[in-house]
Amino acid sequence: MSAAAVVVVGAGVTGLLTAVECALAGHRVTVLDRGPIPNPRSTSYDQHRVIRTFSPDDADATRRMTTAHRRWRTLEALLGTRLFRPVAVVSARPRERLAALAAAAAEAGVRVRTVERQALPHMVLPPDTAGLLDEAAGVLLADRALEAAARWLGAHPAVTLRPYCAVTEVDTGSGTVRPAGGERLGADLVLVAAGPWTRDLLGGRPVVLHRQTMVYLHPPPDAARWWQRAPAAGGLGPDGLGWAVPPGDGTLLKISSDAVCREVAATADGGAEDQAPWVERLAAAAPLRDLDRYTVAAVKTCHYAADAGTGGALLARVGPAVWARAACGGSGFASAPLVAGHIAGVLNDPKDLSDVRDFREGAA
C-alpha cells in the first residue's frame, strides 16, 4: 500500500513501537492517548521489563522472541538510546529436566547453561532445582524505551502525537475512532493498543484482568555488588512462583511473585487497594534470602489482560481495518516489536486475512 493513514489508540509500548514501525514504512500515523505521551500510568511505564528468548516446550515462541530480541537491538540504534541490559535470565528448573532443556535450547539455536545454587547466593531456589541461564535474555529499560520512542515520533514529520485525547468509541465496521469531543477520525488501519483498557473500548475475545504487586528494594550493603552483576530470575522461592529483576543503570531491584497476582474485575479500584497484605504475602513467598535485610524503596501495582484461553498476549483483527491488542499478556512488553512488525506487514500486504496472532512468550 502507498502511504496509508494509521491511527493508534494508546501510547504504551505497543502503540509507540507500532507507530515507529509504520512511520519507518512511509505511512502517516496519529497516536492518541488519554494521558501524556508516554503515560506514566500505562502498564508499560516501569523501570524494567524482562525479555526471555528460550521458551521450554514451545519452539515457535522461542523463534518469535528471538526475532523480538533482535528487533529491540535495532531499535536501540534507531532511537539512539541504550534500552537493553544484557544480564541474562536464570530460571529455576527441576534438575532431572536440565539435560532435556539444554538439548531443546541447542536445537532452537539458543545458548543456555546450568547455574548452580551457590552461584545465586541471594536467591531462593525451590528444592531439587538448579538455574538454567538464558544467556541472550536480559532486561529492557522500559520507561527509557517509551521516552525515546516518543521523542523520535515527536520529531517525525509524518507522525502526529495527540496526548490527553481519550478515545470514547471505535467503530470496527467503518474503521473510525471517536475521541472525546465528538470528532471522527478515519484511517486505512486502526490499532487499538489500550493495554488492559482495550476491553473497555472493544468487546470480542474474553480476557482475564490481572493485578500484581511489585516491591522495589535497596539490597543490604554486603549484597549490593553481587546484585549489580546478577541476572534477572524466575521460578524463585520454595513454591517457584517468584521473580526478581536486578538493579543497575539507575534502576532498583524489583521482586514479585505469582502468589501476589490476582484476577480482578476492573483496574479502577487498584489505586485504593491496601497493599500491606500483598507485600506481606510476597515476603512470605520468599524469593530472596534474608529479605528482611533489604530496604523497601517503593511498592507498585500494575495490571495486564491475558487471553482467557491461552493466558497470553494476542493481536486480533476486530474489523476490516481495525486491529486490537486484545490481550497484552505477561510478556507483552518484550513482544511489542512483533505486533509492530505485523501491523506494518499488513499495510504492505493488505491481502493478509489472518485474524489472530498469538504473541505468547512462554512461562517463566
Q: Which residues bind ligand FAD (CB under 6 A)?
A: 9-15, 32-35, 39, 41-44, 49-50, 166-167, 193-197, 201, 212, 214, 256, 302-304, 325, 328-334
CA gap 26, 115 in Å, rounded: 46
Concatenated DSSP letters of 266-280: -SGGGGGS--HHHHH
At 240, the amino acid letter reads G
Quick one: 219 or 330, whose CB is closer to ligand FAD?
Answer: 330
CB of 103 to ligand FAD, least distance (A): 26
Quick one: 33 or 358, whose CB is closer to ligand FAD?
Answer: 33
> Does residue 130 contact residue 93 with C-beta atoms inside 8 Å?
yes
Among the listed residues 253, 219, 260, the one whose alpha carbon sits nearest the alpha carbon of residue 237: 260
Quick one: 9 or 236, whose CB is closer to ligand FAD?
Answer: 9
**For residue 259, what is the enclosing H or E element?**
none
At 311, the amino acid letter reads G
Residues 6+ apart with CB under 8 A from 196: 43, 209, 267, 303, 304, 305, 328
CA gap 52, 69 in Å, rounded: 8
Residue count (the chain): 364
HSE-CB of 322 using CA atoms within 13 angstroms: 22
3-state secondary structure of 314: strand
3-state secondary structure of 70: helix
Concatenated DSSP letters of 34-87: SSSSS-TTSTT-SSEEEE----TT-HHHHHHHHHHHHHHHHHHHHHTS--EE--
Measured distance between the N- and C-terminal CA atoms of the chain, rounded to whole angstroms: 39
Among the listed residues 185, 176, 215, 211, the one whose alpha carbon sits nearest the alpha carbon of residue 196: 211
3-state secondary structure of 298: strand
CA gap 50, 111 in Å, rounded: 17
CA gap 201, 197 in Å, rounded: 7
> Does residue 134 contact residue 53 with C-beta atoms inside 8 Å?
yes
C-alpha cell read off for 112: 543456555
Quick one: 39 or 176, whose CB is closer to ligand FAD?
Answer: 39
